[in-house]
Structure 1
Amino acid sequence: MGRGRLPVVYLPKVDERLSSWAARMAPFYAMTVSEFVAALGLQGRDVFDLEWRLSEGQGALIAARTGLSPEAVQAMTFRELGSAARMMIAWKNRFPCPHCPEDLHRKTASLPWRFYCPVHGVEFRDATGETLSDRFGTDCFKQLEGHAESGAAHLDAWARGAGQGDLGVPEVLQVLTARHRRASPPNVCEQPQMSLKDRRDYHDFLTTPIIRQALTVVVPEYDQVAPVLAKPVRPGLHALAQGSLLQCFALTVGIGRIIEDPVKWAISVMLVSDAEGQGRVRQVISLWPLSLRRSISARFWRAERDESARQIAEKAARQRQSHKYRYRIS
């Protein structure tokens, strides 16, 4: 292949990334992707590195060889994202769109806080072919979408290095992934209905300690639908970078909810934490702005007092009901 303009060049698809476009072009010229990149004048360069940080000179080389405009070439890269977000970008589509070709990889589909195809407007699917509305139920999913959109907007701002208000993504994710209670086996509500024989056969599963994280407090809807052994997520930013479709959606909802009312959710998590877990939550909250920490401290003792009063009242009501029942029996 000479050094002039290529005789045949595929136009990039909507939102297509550079690595996807190169992978579609290379077979036409009977080349590997690395050979095709070299033929564009970028010998020894990795296409994934190029789509992350393509210089103007490199973009001009590709434009000259393909006839694409420099703007079209740069549009296939992630140059608008900051370096902190690089770990969030998957090499291929994270979750498939049922209407997109398998060999087409879009920028949007590589990010963990996007849940719809930008072209077809349909939900992405997980590895089993299930959508989020399948998992949560249509009504519940619609109620969660607003929080997810708020969380995604905050994640977009963080990824671009823009201002994020009082709280940043890393600080919020540290709270969501904090272990607020000691690990414990599945409780009765988490266990499937089983016969005595099945319980004996699945004894190891029923006695496996599960990591308990604040995510299930902030997003109880996730706690209700997630498979018990798949509830825990990786700590911090890795939770999003390596999470499943369900986990990423729950984390994005959790980010939205905490950003909307950080004091409320911090207190909610601490109220249901055990002593060790509350210490861990307080430690990660220590990274929050001072004004928020003061508000949490001022309101937490009142919330704790009210919770204690509520528990005492409930216990007294149960005792009265029990005495009333015994009186009727006698």
Structure 2
Amino acid sequence: MSRFTSAGFPPSRLPVCFKPHRDELLSSWIGRHADFYAVPPLVMLRHCLPEAASLRAADLNLAEDQQVRLANMFAAEPADIRRMTFTNVPQPFHRWIAVRSSQRCTICNPIHATPLPVLRSQLLGWRITCSRCGELLRDRDGHEVPSPFRHYHSMAIRGEKLLDNEIERGARTWASPTEIARLLLMRRIIFPVPSEHELYLFRVLGVIIPDLDRVVAAERVDLSTPARPILPLHLRASLLTGVAIVKRAGPEMLRMLRRHTLGDNMTRFSYAAEKLIAQAGKHPYASQRQLI
């Protein structure tokens, strides 16, 4: 019989509680308690929050009363519980939060910890560096991930900061960085028109980052879509760089990029781009020709 079911304690407080690791994800912390009490993690969560749909749902959003109940059960502060979740991230940005960890900082999350905690920063699908120490992220096993876009590093870091400021803190410039990223991930047309089974290889981003077409063609990788914008870690710098370049260049670059779309894609691109342009107002922008 598990320690959880046999202890007979009230759900208001667990007899044994573990301190969370710095930046640990809520589901990871609950999972470590579940392992100790020999119950499934969802059972552990529902012991306190019977209405919880899943661990993922709890990671993404917790109401204030749920934060208080979890804090009481795990001998923590509600503010600490909130920091372990993505409650601060608006729902439209949840597409940027990975379902499972695919990256890790070996400085902030060394492999000798057992069980290995999952940090909140490991699910941030727009980052190439650790949000805590600034080191380049590695894959989930701690291996270095060589990127063919390392030469764009400084510009990619700017793009990372733009997305981070919008998603985590609600800050924007003349346009939403996440909307810019969405436009850059739309399919584009090239001439001569490639075969039908190769059309998926070409994105608007490739106009700004010419290296991208070559890399994608060589790896035959299925790039992310506007609806699921998280790129593989080794390709992520290309999108971040593209966002930074468009932000710096201004609305006229969006009009220039529209010419590389066709049909329904052009209609969708134009609609979204014109909304951004209308919001921009009058600002001094560098010419896109100076940036490409």
1:88 and 2:78 correspond: no
1:223 and 2:231 correspond: no
Question: 1:49-64 maps to which residues of 2 (within 5 A)?
Answer: 49-64=57-72
Q: Which residue of 2 aligns with 1:260?
A: 248
SS in 1 for 2:188: strand
1:42 and 2:52 correspond: no
How large is the Cα RMSD of the aligned pairs?
Answer: 3.5
For the residues of structure 1 that align with 2:85 and 2:158, how far apart are their CA atoms?
25
> In 2 relative to 1, CA 56–19 (structure 1 residues): closer, same or farther, beyond 3 Å?
same
Question: 1:113-192 maps to which residues of 2 (within 5 A)?
Answer: 113-118=126-131, 121-126=134-139, 131-132=144-145, 134-136=146-148, 141=150, 143-160=151-168, 162-182=170-190, 184=194
- Amino acid of the structure 1 residue aligned with 2:198: P
Pick the structure with more helix per residue.
Answer: 1
For the residues of structure 1 that align with 2:41 and 2:117, how far apart are their CA atoms?
15
The sequence identity of aligned pairs, in percent, is 19
For the residues of structure 1 that align with 2:84 and 2:265, how far apart are their CA atoms?
45
- Say which is worse superposed, 55-64 or 170-179, in terms of deviation: 170-179
1:78 and 2:86 correspond: yes
Deviation for aligned residue 1:33: 0.7
Deviation for aligned residue 1:290: 3.5
Show CA shifts across 1:288-325 (max 9, x none).
Answer: 32486999xxx89xx8xxxxxxxxxxxxxxxxxxxxxx
For the residues of structure 2 that align with 1:266 and 1:249, how far apart are their CA atoms?
20
Show CA shifts across 1:74-123 (max 9, x none).
Answer: 22111211111122222332323453457321111101111233456543
Question: 1:235-254 maps to which residues of 2 (within 5 A)?
Answer: 235-240=225-230, 243-254=231-242
Which one has a bigger Cα radius of gyration? 1
SS in 2 for 1:72: helix
Show CA shifts across 1:7-59 (max 9, x none).
Answer: 321111111110010111101011111221233x2224133222322222222
For the residues of structure 2 that align with 1:161 and 1:177, how far apart are their CA atoms?
23
Q: Scaled by the length of structure 2, what TM-score is found?
A: 0.75
Question: 1:177-326 maps to which residues of 2 (within 5 A)?
Answer: 177-182=185-190, 184=194, 208-211=197-200, 212-228=202-218, 230=220, 233-240=223-230, 243-263=231-251, 265-266=253-254, 269=257, 273=260, 279=266, 282=270, 284-290=272-278
1:10 and 2:22 correspond: no
The alignment covers a number of residue pairs equal to 268
Provide structure 1 residue ranges, at least 5 long, that are not aligned to the other structure.
Answer: 186-206, 304-330
Q: Scaled by the length of structure 1, what TM-score is found?
A: 0.68
For the residues of structure 2 that align with 1:263 and 1:270, how far apart are their CA atoms?
11
> In 2 relative to 1, CA 150–57 (structure 1 residues): closer, same or farther, beyond 3 Å?
same
For the residues of structure 2 that align with 1:278 and 1:6, how far apart are their CA atoms?
54
* 8 Å CA contact retained: 2:89, 2:167: yes
SS in 1 for 2:104: coil
